[in-house]
Structure 1
Amino acid sequence: MKNMLMGATALAMVGGASYAGGIDRSGQGVNILFEEGNYAQITFSVVNPNVDAQPNETLAAVPIPGATIPAFDVAQSYSDFSLGYKHEVNDKLDIAIIYDNPFGAHVDYGLNGNLLQGGMAEVNTNALTGLLQYQLGNGFSVHGGIRLLEVDGVINNSLGLLDASSDIDFGGVVGVAYEKPEIALRVALTYSSSIAADLSGTRSDNDGSNPAARDLTVDFPESVNLDFQTGVAANTLVFGSIRWVGLSGTDVNTVDGEWVNFEDDVTTYNLGIAQRINDKLSLALRFGYEAPGTRPSNTALSPSTGSRSIGIAGTYQLNETISLSGGITYAKLGDQSFLLNNPLLPPGAGYDYQDSDAIGVGFRIGMRF
């Protein structure tokens, strides 16, 4: 049951809920460590958020000769890709390597010369994590390792255009787990440290003119994952997770000013159930909740706050070696607002983001050796 259901539970987590947590994307999971034997997986997901910006009452009242203030979708679709390989060295020691895209941002407020609009951000990250897991006995194990992070991004707002990238920076991972295989019970607690990414690039005018060199450091947040599962009946598994991300204090600052600032930590809860239908097919259903944060938003990178989501997934076992999994998530994103920092506008002018949602789909190929 364990092997059949793990793929379905993992893919039920994929999708739109990850959009709500600011820049948090992959969830930095380590569940591949608990696959039996030698195992490899490839995962691809696409998230399509819909976040419409509507002018608030103050902004709508601003007279603009010959123009209307438009509503527009600020959120951009994005995709994530991950690879994982787990190797069983012996009955005590396992090793794993994971490549993923743990953080990111894709928002576009339009760059059409309108003083009431303007700005975009695209932030991409690549991470490589190496892990060891050691069995202590009596169901207990410890795991830990190192995470390498590479970052590149472009931010275009009222401060100008910032284009920067990093070399490779380092962070740590450490955790503990307890398993009772006869009832498919597992509880795993994992801490990932923050990573200080040293970036270099240029700051220029919005059109790219007058470039000047800029160096900056961005602290990508620490996090804690609590993952759990247990069998509750024949071929039935209850699973869930709690993820805390220390986003507060994550900012992007240069001598030109503060480009990005997050004030809220983010906690996301998931609870689901998985069922093996037969020897080939298993299905999973998952519900998620993310608590709302500050309103109005303290950064244009978070045009929503909080979420409620539902995800479904299935795994089909082609043969003893290869499994195929697919999942879809729908997330209702919490309302948010954003105040424009523009001296030509009255205080309180800005946009409201309401009735936002996101859909995510994911696919995974797993292979045992």
Structure 2
Amino acid sequence: MKKMLMGATALAMVGGASYAGGIDRSGQGVNILFEEGNFAQITFVTVNPNVDAVPGGPISATPSAFDVAQNYADFSLGYKHEVNDKLDLAIIYDNPFGAHVDYGTTGGFLDGGLADVETNALTALAQYQLGNGFSVHGGLRLMEVDGIINNALGELDISSDFDLGGVVGVAYEKPEIALRVALTYNSSISADLSGTRAERDGSNPQARTATVDFPESINLDFQTGVAPNTLVFGSVRYVPFEGVNLTTVDGQWVNFQDDITTYNLGIARRINDKLSLAVRFGFEDEGTKPTNTALSPSTGSKSITLAGTYQLSEHLSLSGGVTYAKLGDQFLNLPSPPLPAGSRYDYRDSDAIGVGLRIGIQF
């Protein structure tokens, strides 16, 4: 029962993280450490956001509304090895952060503006059982960044090698009631970037360097049995994005204004020997309005996720989940001059749909 419910809750949590905080993608979870025995998983999530930029004020007539958020997909791998009854080891590949915004060739003020940023991370973890239900876990994370940003400063094509961060946490479990509480701290990672800055049409490229401190974060994950074959589960994730910025000699390309706290609460139920289902609700507070960047066109969210796990065999499971997120309205004041005073873009009636699949293999 435990491994079936774990699969359903894992997909519910993955779906919820997929549009949290604008650029927060994987949620940097460590739940694989709590799987039984030796365990491997392959997870794929695709997200289709819809965020329309609607011209307002003196420019409300042209251009018409256009969708600026781009579809994206995240992929992760994980393997956990039980060394003995005290020590477990795990390795995780995921995409912790990303940005996918494109203003296209609309003829508007932000014509051609875009951000296409990807991260890849490899995390090595160990968990040690202290006894009486308590355990500690921790390890190292390597992360690289690759991306393009095009805005009024030009076009920046920049990337990093792998840079190092750390993970440390503590957990308490009471298996007889399926209780688990885990607190995990992920350190910040200072990414040393290098690449080129060109004109917005790609001409006249010049070498550039920058350093971006990707933020630390704290994850609180919990679950408990509330009835036979039934779990309540949830999480709180806090990421202090405020002040995280990308700056070169040309100016400040991106500067985040708000810390992000994301809340999730759900319930999972074993239906029979093969099938478990879960539902999860998510909430994220709205941040500062207006936004200070065209690359952050929504703030806050409310979401619902439906997920399930089907046990294909004793050692193989397939999990799937669908998330619908209502994204909070945002607006951006446009510079005056060159535009008339009061010109703005309104981002409203925005939402996102995420679909996730996980294959779990028990050894």
* TM-score normalised according to structure 1 size: 0.96
Equivalents in 1 of 2:65, 2:336: separation in Å? 18
| CA shift for structure 1 position 118 | 3.4
5+ long unaligned stretches in structure 2: none
Structure 1 counterpart of 2:195: 201
Does residue 343 of structure 2 align to residue 349 of structure 1? Answer: yes
For residue 293 of structure 1, what is the aligned residue in structure 2? 287
8 Å CA contact retained: 1:17, 1:288: no
Q: CA deviation at 1:4?
A: 1.1
Match for residue 34 of structure 1?
Answer: 34
Amino acid paired to 1:334: G
The reply to whether residue 229 of structure 1 matches residue 223 of structure 2 is: yes
Task: Give the match for residue 217 of structure 1.
Answer: 211
Distance 1:113 1:348 in 2: 19
The correspondence for 1:246, drawn from 240, 245, 259, is 240
How far the C-alpha of 1:22 sits from its partner, in A, is 1.9
Letter in 1 for 2:87: L
Residue range with higher mean Cα deviation, 80-89 or 6-15: 6-15
Deviation at 1:299?
2.2
Separation of aligned partners in 1, 2:343 and 2:109: 12
Structure 1 position 25 matched with structure 2 position 2: no
Partner secondary structure for residue 15 of structure 1: helix
Verify the 8 A CA contact 2:104 2:112 in the aligned structure 1: yes
| Structure 1 counterpart of 2:82 | 88
Distance 2:94 2:326 in 1: 25
Aligned to 2:56: 56
Q: State the match for 1:122 in structure 2.
A: 116
More deviation in 267-276 or 294-303? 294-303
Q: Distance in 2 between matches of 1:116 and 1:355?
A: 20
Q: Does 1:317 align with 2:311?
A: yes
- Seen in structure 2, the aligned counterparts of structure 1 residues 17 and 188 have a Cα distance that, compared at 3 Å, is closer
Could you list the runs of 4 or more consecutive aligned residues of structure 1 that deviate by over 6 angstroms after TM superposition? none
Q: Say if 2:327 is the partner of 1:333.
A: yes
Percentage of matched positions with identical amino acids: 77
In structure 2, the residue corresponding to 1:304 is in which secondary structure?
coil
Deviation at 1:117?
Answer: 3.1
Indicate yes or no: 2:274 matched with 1:274: no
Q: Which amino acid aligns with 2:12?
A: A
1:46–1:77 CA contact under 8 A, matched in 2: yes
Equivalent runs, 1:137-216 vs 2, <5 Å: 137-216=131-210
Corresponding residue of 2:47: 47
Partners of 2:63 and 2:108 within 8 A in 1? no
The CA distance in 2 between the partners of 1:333 and 1:309, in whole Å, is 8
**Which 10-residue stretch deviates more, 117-126 or 280-289?**
117-126
Give the structure 2 partner of residue 2 of structure 1: 2
- Conservation of the 8 A alpha-carbon contact between 1:16 and 1:48: no
C-alpha contact (below 8 Å) 1:172/1:193 kept by paired residues: yes
Count of matched residue positions in the alignment of Structure 1 and Structure 2: 363
Q: Measured at CA, do residues 40 and 17 of structure 1 come closer, stay the same or move farther in structure 2, by a change above 3 Å?
A: closer
CA contact (8 A) 1:51 1:357 kept: yes
Backbone CA RMSD of aligned residues: 1.3
Residues 100-115 of structure 1 mapped to structure 2, 5 A cutoff: 100-111=94-105, 114-115=108-109
Q: Distance in 1 between matches of 2:334 and 2:43?
A: 38
Alpha carbons 1:225, 1:243 under 8 Å: kept: yes
Letter in 2 for 1:212: Q
C-alpha deviations, 1:176-228, integer Å up to 9, x for none?
A: 00000000000000000110000000001011111110000011111100000
Contact 2:16–2:323 at 8 Å: present in 1 too?
yes
Moved more, 32-41 or 104-113: 104-113
For the residue of structure 1 that corresponds to 2:295, the secondary structure is: coil
The one-letter amino acid of 1:103's match is: F
Shift of 1:18: 3.1
Distance 2:328 2:138 in 1: 35
